[in-house]
Structure formats: structure tokens, C-alpha cells
């Protein structure tokens, strides 16, 4: 492995959920420890299973692993860190401020920025205080902060005073308020991250176009902060002995080769490692030792998958949706789970059934055109794309021209960085999104991606559209706002899209809880790209299918409705294949 050649003191693994960061981090820590080094393994992954991998309870304290001399581990729970972080800020004013104001501050500190900054706050000392890691040769981190968080931590100025004066909206700067005392420690941590002689940053992806584009974005974002990614790892690539006669294996292999061949140019010069897909989940020392082996041992016989793992298909769900005759259908989930495909398949099938359908997306990568092809050929199906870049540009310009008008240079820098928040994009897009919500009164509007529950509550708590309407309407007047439409289960159907893997299912569960806080109840779950539901005869893939059982059970425990979509031989692109996916 290139990324293990002359390892630096700190090694970070970063990438989207479900790409295998934890497995690679654990295997790296094991290999270094067994080579005689003293190693600390630190996880900030919300789905961390480091303890399960090594068969030992770890938690939020440095714990020696009894099975591996020289290896200690620490699991930082991001949600717990965020909760404790919020309490440190809110605790001193609880009882002094009215409850509605406390609720508003709490929601402002409930977004992904808070969670990430709280996690970074937890392990800052490991990077900046040499005494804390003096006993270790290497410190391995499973998950790294984003470029946005690094830029926030590098900003000058008084965050608290800036917010208290009403110059910012607290979407991202809020979590930083009151932290001036730690500015020096943060500065040391950021310097360590940017020093290639101390830190190696490894981008982890799957051999899929969307996954590779995502790490290219991450690399670009981090480069703007002075942190240059050092390595790329493409994980879970089908081995050559996976099954030469299985049509699904051949199709996957072709797709993987094409994705790697068309990797973003920005990653072309970065040293690259390929890790083959293994039959087993990475649990136990033997499995971890096998991860970096060049040749994969493939099972000789296929495992039978229980039939109860195969749920109703997408067509039954589409029939139920069609019965309403109109409405808003939102496909939500993390990047790379196939939201665009599922939204396109539902829209195409509804149009085939004779309904008037508007398919739209807020996907900045514009995957809708790639999925639908040159033309859908269905007169009752129209398509559009909400341009997030344009929406954000207009929104930022407006805020800088109003709130930023009379600020000094330092204040404008703080406000400009606050407007780089992911929350900003969601708020800006929501303004255009509201028009589409209203359109669903007379037709089906099927949307790929939508704002999270946190963003909706932020807008609501900040006196946004919903509150403004509520406040200004005469008593007794009937009115309906976009927020009320989203909360109406007869008008809006939210489909949570995920993969049959532990981390994507956990991330979708967090999203579901987030939406429920906003009074929005997801209507159904869709598990995409399932090997369980495929017709593969490959022993390797059937073995992998048998390990989907746990994640599928976790979805069943939550889902009011469930559809399982198989991993297909042909990419589901173009109207014909999309309609078949849901018919």
C-alpha cells in the first residue's frame, strides 16, 4: 500500500459513509502495531464499530486493545460530543432567557457544522499537544474535518461579539462562539494538518463515478485551506476471480473499470491504491490482516439468502403513490445512495401510468440529465434542475449587501465564511424549492434531494417564511406555507433512500430523526443496490448478500413502508430501464 510507505505521525482517512474508512483505518493500525510501533486509533465516525471489529468495548476513553499489544483505541461519539458542546454554551444562560429563545439557540447548534466542530474539538489536543501522544509512534484517525471547518477555525476575529451584535446568522459561527480561549490550540492543530511531514491525508472512495467525484470535491476544498491530500484508496473493487460466468460480476467489473479510467483529472497525480472486495465483513484480526492482501480468497460455493430478506419491490410503492393523483414526492438521503435513480424511476413510471409529472433535482452535479438521457419521450413528464450555485450566489450577494454593508474587513470575512456553510446552500435552494412545493397541488412533483430537518427548523426558528406569514396574517385567515405542506402527510411523501450497509442505514436513520424534529414523518424507505434482491450466482457476491441481513433488519424496524431495489446488470439510465425498475 502506497499510503503505508514511510508513514507519518498522523494519518487521516476521509470519505463518504459506507466506503470502508473504518475497516482501512483498523487494518492500518493493526499492521503498524504488529510491525512493533506504538499506535493510537481514533474514530469520529458516527457509525464507528472499532470495538466490534476488535471484539472489545472501547468508548470515549483511550483503551488498550488486549488482542493487539501496542495498539490503543478511542471512539469519539460525535452526537454525544455535540450534545455536551451545546450544553457548555447553553447551560450558563438556561433560566435567564425565555424558553423560546433557548429553543432557538439549541436548534442553531443542532446542525452538522456543530457536530463536526465538536468532534474536532475533542481530538484537537491529540494534534496540537505533543504531551498527549508522546507515547505513540502513529495516530490513525478514522474521519477528518472538512475544508469548511478548517477555514472556520483559521478565521480571525471575535465570533461571540460578531454574533451578539446581530451581524451573522449563527448557522456555522454559532458553534464557535465562546471559543476564543482555544484559538491557539486550534491554530496548532490546523498547522499539524497542513504539514505533510507530520500528517498524511488519505481519500477513500469506491470504484463508482459519484464516489470518485465526491473525493475530488473534498480534495479541492481541503487544498484551499493549505491541506493537500496525499493518497487515494479505491476500496471494494471486484477481484478477477469473483465469477467469470456471472453476468452481474461482468457488468460491475466493466462499470468499475470505466469509473477508474474516467477519474477526475485533479486526482490523476495522487498516488493510488486499489483494495479488492473481500467476502467477509472486516471483523476480527484475521479479516483485517487479509484486507491489504493482493489476492482475495473467494468462497467455493454460494450461500443461500433467506427469502424474508426480499421485500416488496418499488412497483408496489409507486402504485400506492399514484392513487393520490398528485403530490410532492421527495427522495432524500446521503450522497452516492442513488437518489437520482430512484426519483427518476418513480417519475417515469408515474408518467407511464398517465399522470402529469414534474421531475426536478437540486443535485449540484446535474446527474438527472445523465440518468434520464437526451429525452424522456413522455409528453406528460417535464424535467428541471434547481441550480444551487446560482441560488447560493444570489443569496450570498444579498446578505453581504445588507448585513455586511457596514462591517469592517474582519467582520465581512467572518460573515463571508459563515455563508460558505452547507446550511447556506440549503436555505438558498429552499427559496426556489418553495415554488415547486406549491406546484404539487395539481400534479406530481418528484424531487431528488431536499433540505434537512435542521435547515427547515433553522429557517422556522429564525422568523423565516413560515413565521412571517403566521405573524402578519389577520386573525382567522386561512393560509398554507411551504413548511405546512411538507408537514402534511397527504400532500408530501418523503422516501429515505439508502444502501444495505451499516453506515448508510445509520446516516439515513439520523436524517429521519432530524426530519421528525421538524414535524415531518418520512413515508417510506427504499434500499437501493441490494445483492440480496439480485439474481447473481457468484459465490463472492452471494456471500456479501448474506451480510445485508443486519442492515435490512435495522431498516425494517423503522420503516412504515419498504422497497428493496436490486443491484442491476445494466445501469438504470434512460426511460425504458428506469420504468422497468418501478414496474
Active site residues per annotation: 18, 20-23, 45, 503
* Angle ∠(520,101,413) on CA atoms, nearest 5: 90
Are 427 and 460 contacting, i.e. CB atoms less than 8 angstroms apart? no
Question: How does DSSP classify residue 197?
Answer: T
CB atoms within 10 A of CB 284: 15
CA pair distance 429, 449, nearest whole angstrom: 11
The set of cell numbers assigned to 405 is 454593508
CA pair distance 114, 148, nearest whole angstrom: 12
Residue bearing cell 462499470: 255
**Exposed / middle / buried, residue 261 (Cβ in 10 Å: 0-12, 13-18, 19+):** exposed
The set of cell numbers assigned to 54 is 476488535
Return the biggest CA–CA distance within the chain. 75
* Cα within 13 Å of Cα(52), Cβ side: 9
Are 215 and 204 contacting, i.e. CB atoms less than 8 angstroms apart? yes
* Angle ∠(137,291,67) on CA atoms, nearest 5: 55
Closest CA to 355 of 381, 374, 332: 381
CA 229 to chain centre: 19
Q: What is the DSSP string of 3-64?
A: GGSS--SEEEEE-STTSSHHHHHHHHHHHHHHTT--EEEEE--TT--HHHHHTS---SS-EE
Bridging pattern class, strands 138-142 and 231-237: unpaired
3-state secondary structure of 94: strand
Residue bearing cell 402529469: 356
Are 540 and 301 contacting, i.e. CB atoms less than 8 angstroms apart? no
- 183: Cβ contacts below 8 Å, ≥ 6 apart: none
3-state secondary structure of 299: coil
* Cα within 13 Å of Cα(189), Cβ side: 23
Question: How does DSSP classify residue 386?
Answer: -
3-state secondary structure of 319: helix
**Exposed / middle / buried, residue 209 (Cβ in 10 Å: 0-12, 13-18, 19+):** buried
CB atoms within 10 A of CB 334: 19
Amino acid at each position: 500500500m502506497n499510503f503505508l510507505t514511510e508513514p507519518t505521525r498522523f494519518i487521516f482517512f476521509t470519505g463518504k459513509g459506507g466506503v470502508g474508512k473504518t475497516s482501512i483505518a483498523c487494518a492500518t493500525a493493526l499492521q503498524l502495531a504488529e510491525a512493533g510501533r506504538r499506535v493510537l486509533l481514533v474514530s469520529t465516525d458516527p457509525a464507528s464499530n472499532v470495538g466490534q471489529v476488535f471484539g472489545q468495548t472501547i468508548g470515549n476513553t483511550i483503551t488498550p486493545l488486549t488482542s493487539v499489544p501496542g495498539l490503543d483505541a478511542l471512539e469519539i461519539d460525535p452526537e454525544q460530543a455535540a450534545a455536551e458542546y451545546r450544553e457548555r454554551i447553553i447551560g450558563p444562560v438556561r433560566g435567564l432567557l425565555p424558553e423560546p429563545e433557548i429553543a432557538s439557540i439549541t436548534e442553531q447548534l443542532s446542525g452538522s457544522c456543530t457536530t463536526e466542530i465538536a468532534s474536532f474539538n475533542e481530538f484537537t489536543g491529540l494534534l496540537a499537544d505533543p504531551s498527549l501522544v508522546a507515547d505513540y509512534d502513529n495516530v490513525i484517525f478514522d474521519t477528518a474535518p472538512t475544508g469548511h471547518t478548517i477555514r472556520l477555525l483559521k478565521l480571525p476575529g471575535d465570533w461571540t461579539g460578531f454574533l451578539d451584535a446581530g451581524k451573522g446568522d449563527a448557522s456555522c459561527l454559532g458553534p464557535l462562539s465562546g471559543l476564543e480561549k482555544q484559538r491557539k490550540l486550534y491554530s496548532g492543530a490546523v498547522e499539524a494538518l497542513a504539514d505533510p511531514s507530520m500528517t498524511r491525508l488519505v481519500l477513500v472512495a469506491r470504484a463508482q463515478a459519484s464516489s470518485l467525484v465526491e473525493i475530488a470535491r473534498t480534495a479541492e476544498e481541503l487544498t484551499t485551506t493549505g491541506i493537500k491530500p496525499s493518497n487515494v484508496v479505491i476500496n471494494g473493487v471486484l477481484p478477477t476471480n469473483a465469477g467469470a460466468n456471472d453476468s452481474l460480476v461482468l457488468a460491475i467489473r466493466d462499470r468499475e473499470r470505466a469509473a477508474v479510467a474516467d477519474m477526475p483529472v485533479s486526482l490523476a497525480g495522487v498516488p493510488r491504491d486499489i483494495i479488492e472486495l473481500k467476502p467477509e465483513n472486516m471483523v476480527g484480526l484475521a479479516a483485517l490482516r487479509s484486507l491489504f492482501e493482493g489476492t482475495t480468497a473467494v468462497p467455493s460455493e454460494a450461500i443461500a439468502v433467506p427469502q424474508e430478506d426480499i421485500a416488496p419491490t418499488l412497483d408496489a410503492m409507486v402504485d400506492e403513490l399514484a392513487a393520490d393523483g398528485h403530490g410532492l414526492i421527495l427522495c432524500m438521503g446521503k450522497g452516492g445512495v442513488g437518489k437520482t435513480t430512484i426519483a427518476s424511476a418513480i417519475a417515469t413510471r408515474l408518467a407511464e401510468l398517465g399522470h402529469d409529472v414534474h421531475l426536478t433535482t437540486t443535485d449540484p452535479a446535474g446527474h438527472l440529465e445523465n440518468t434520464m438521457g437526451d429525452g424522456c419521450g413522455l409528453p406528460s413528464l417535464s424535467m428541471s434542475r434547481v441550480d444551487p450555485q446560482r441560488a447560493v450566489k444570489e443569496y450570498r450577494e444579498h446578505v453581504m449587501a445588507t448585513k455586511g454593508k457596514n462591517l469592517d474587513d474582519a467582520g465581512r470575512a467572518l460573515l463571508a465564511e459563515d455563508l460558505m456553510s452547507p446550511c447556506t446552500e440549503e436555505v438558498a435552494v429552499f427559496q426556489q424549492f418553495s415554488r415547486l412545493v406549491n406546484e404539487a397541488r395539481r400534479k406530481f412533483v418528484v424531487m431528488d434531494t431536499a433540505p434537512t430537518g435542521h435547515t427547515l427548523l433553522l429557517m422556522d426558528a429564525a422568523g423565516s417564511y413560515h413565521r412571517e406569514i403566521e405573524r402578519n396574517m389577520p386573525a382567522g385567515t386561512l393560509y398554507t406555507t411551504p413548511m405546512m405542506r411538507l408537514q402534511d402527510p397527504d400532500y408530501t411523501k418523503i422516501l429515505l433512500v439508502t444502501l444495505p450497509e451499516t453506515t448508510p442505514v445509520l446516516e439515513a436513520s439520523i436524517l429521519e430523526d432530524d426530519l421528525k424534529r421538524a414535524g415531518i414523518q418520512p413515508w417510506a424507505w427504499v434500499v437501493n443496490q441490494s445483492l440480496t434482491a439480485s439474481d447473481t450466482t457468484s459465490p463472492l457476491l452471494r456471500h456479501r448478500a448474506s451480510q445485508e441481513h443486519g442492515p435490512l433488519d435495522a431498516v425494517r424496524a423503522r420503516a412504515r413502508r419498504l422497497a428493496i431495489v436490486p443491484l442491476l446488470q445494466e445501469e438504470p439510465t434512460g426511460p425504458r430501464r428506469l420504468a422497468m425498475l418501478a414496474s
